[in-house]
Structure 1
Amino acid sequence: MTNSSNLHGPATPFSGGPRRRTVRLPRRSLMIGAGLLPLVIAGCGTRGSAPAAVAGDQDLLQEHGFAGAEAREIIDRLEALPLAGRPQNLIASVAATSLQLQDDAGRVAELPLPEEQFYLSVAPFVETTHECAFHSLTTCRGELRRRELIVNVVDGSSGEILEEGPRTTHDNGFIGFWLPRGITADLSFTLDDPAGADYAGSATISTQAEDDLTCLTSLQLT
C-alpha cells in the first residue's frame, strides 16, 4: 500500500473543517500484448498491463462457479464478497469493455461487459491509497472499509443525476458504479467522521474510451 503523500502531497488527518478536493483523471494509451492475457498477479492493474482479447476457458468458469454467468453478475458477486471469502487462486481484472479472469493454473477467460454500461470501482481515501488503473476484484484494497458515504454522480453534459444518496463501501474499501458508456461525469463523496467533521472529495470521470479507468483510487477526502 502506497502512502498518499507520494501521490497527492501530505495526507490530511481527521481534523479541522471540511474542504473539497477535485481530481481530474488523465487518459493514457494502453499497451496490449499480442495474444496474451498479462493480468496483474497481485494488487491492482496499472496502465500498461491491460490484457489482450482471449478465448474463454469454460473449465475455469465452471470450477469457480461462474458457468453461465455474465460479466456483470460475476463482477457484482466478487466485489461484494468479504475479504476472507475472496478466491486466492483467481485474478479478476476489469477493463473498459471486458472482464478478464485468470487462475493459478494459467487458464484465462474474457467476458464482454454490457454494451451500454461501464463499470467503475472507487476507493475514496483520507490518508492512504495505492496506484490503480484497472480494478482487480480479488486483490485491490482501499482504506475505508465498510464505511457509509454520501455519493453524488452527475452526467457532465446533461446534468442528469445518475446516482445520489448513501452508499457503503464493500469489505475491500471500494464502491462499484455501473454507468452509461460515452459520458463524462462529476463524482463526489462526503464522509461523516465520528469525531464530528465532514470530509469531501470529487473527481471528473470518463466512460468514453477503451483506456478509461475502471479503478479510481486518487479521490481524497479532505
Structure 2
Amino acid sequence: MLRALDSVIDPELDEPITDLGFVRSVTLTGSSVEVHLRLPTSFCAPNFAYLMASDAKDALTALPNVGVVTVELDDHHDSDIINSGLVADAGYKGTFLHEAENDLDELRATFQRKAHTAAMERSLTEFLRARPELAETALANVVLGDLPDDSAKAALLRRRVTIGLSTVDSASVLVDERGSPYPAVLAALALRRARSTRISIDGNAHFCRGLLATRYPGSEVDLMPKAEQSYFPLSSIIRTHKRKIA
C-alpha cells in the first residue's frame, strides 16, 4: 500500500518524496492512514509544499480498502494553513484564498516540462558518450528507437507521456516542450540549455538532501541517492497491523 507514496514527486527536484526523505512518519490504524511530511526548511515555497502534501493524500485515498487519510506537513511556516486546507479538501485556492493567484496546474506543468528536458539531456548525453565519433549536430536525427532500452530511456518515455509527447520509435528525441524537433544547426545549443536545466535540478536535489540531514539529524537513513532509485524505502516498513516510523 505504501508504494503509493513513491509516486508523489517533488515538482522542483523531480524525485519521489520517499527517496528525498520527506516522509517523516506513517501510521496505520485499521483502515485509516496518517502521514507526516517534513521539508528541508520551514520556508520552502508554500505552493510546492501544498502540492506534495495534496498529492500524497490523493495517492493514498485512491487505494482500495483505505478509510480516512490524514496528511500533515510538520514544521513549516504555513503548516496550520496547509493542514487545515487538506482536512477540508479545500484545494490550493481554497486553502490560500487571496494569496493564491492561480491554481497549481500550470506550476505542475512547468516542472513536468523541465523534468522532460532533464531526462532528454541525460539520454542524449549517454548516447553521445557511447558514440564519441558523433558530433552534437547529429543529435537532431536521433529518434527514440535509437536509444538503448535502459533506465534513462524509460525515464524519458515516462516524462514524454506526462507532457503529451509521442513515444513511438520514430519520434525525435531532441525536441522542445511542444514536441517540435530542433534542426541540426541548433542541436548543440539545445543540448547545452537542456544540460543547464538538468544540472540545476540535480544540484537543488543534492542541496535539499544536505539541508534535510542538517535539520533532522538521523534522517540520512531515509535519503536515497538518485543512482539507487530502483529501491522503494517505504515499501516494506510496515510489518504489523499498526506501526509508526520516525
TM norm structure 2 = 0.21
Larger radius of gyration: 2
User: Between Structure 1 and Structure 2, which shows a larger proportion of strand residues?
Assistant: 1
TM norm structure 1 = 0.23
User: Between Structure 1 and Structure 2, which shows a larger proportion of helix residues?
Assistant: 2
